[in-house]
């Protein structure tokens, strides 16, 4: 039996319907220093993957995002949950809660 410490949550992802109960291993929860979103147009920027601000081309005459020089990026969320620590729960998985969580932190939620 493997003992993990982390957060039980309902996992949903953009582009998928519904979601799944999942467990996030706390070893893969980090302070966010690389994931940004523009406060004006919500463009997402993962500085870890793209060192430069990604530029999206205008589509059908509709410009959804600001021009790169007009963005106002802020860190989106204090924490970054990495996929490596995501365990989608399956029928038959068993949990034993070893310690009662005294303080629930909204900051850990995506
Ligand atoms: Zn913007």
Q: Where are the domains of the chain?
A: 1-29+81-110, 33-76
46 Cα–ligand 1 center, Å: 14
Q: Residue 52: which pLDDT band, with cuts at 50, 70 and 90? A: confident
> Which tokens sit at 59?
């589509």
> Which tokens sit at 80?
């970054």
Note the pLDDT of residue 58. Answer: 66
Mean of the pLDDT values across residues 53-81?
82
71-106 confidence digits (pLDDT tens)? 999 999 899 999 999 999 999 888 777 765 545 555
Residues bordering ligand 1, an ion, CB closer than 5 Å: 38, 40-41, 43, 66, 71
Residue 66 has pLDDT above 60, yes or no: yes
Closest CA to 73 of 94, 91, 95, 50: 50
Q: How far apart are CA 52 and CA 42, in angstroms?
A: 16
Instruction: Provide the whole-model pTM.
Output: 0.63
């Amino acid at each position: 039996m493997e003992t993990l410490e982390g957060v039980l949550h309902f996992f949903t992802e953009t582009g998928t319907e519904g979601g799944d109960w999942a467990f996030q291993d706390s070893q893969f929860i980090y302070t966010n220093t690389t994931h940004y979103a523009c406060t004006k147009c919500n463009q997402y920027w993962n500085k870890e993957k793209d060192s430069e601000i990604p530029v999206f081309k205008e589509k059908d005459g509709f410009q959804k995002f600001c021009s790169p020089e007009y963005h106002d990026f802020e860190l989106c969320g204090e924490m970054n949950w990495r996929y490596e620590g995501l365990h989608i729960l399956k029928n038959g998985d068993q949990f034993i809660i070893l310690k009662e969580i005294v303080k629930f932190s909204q900051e850990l939620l995506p």
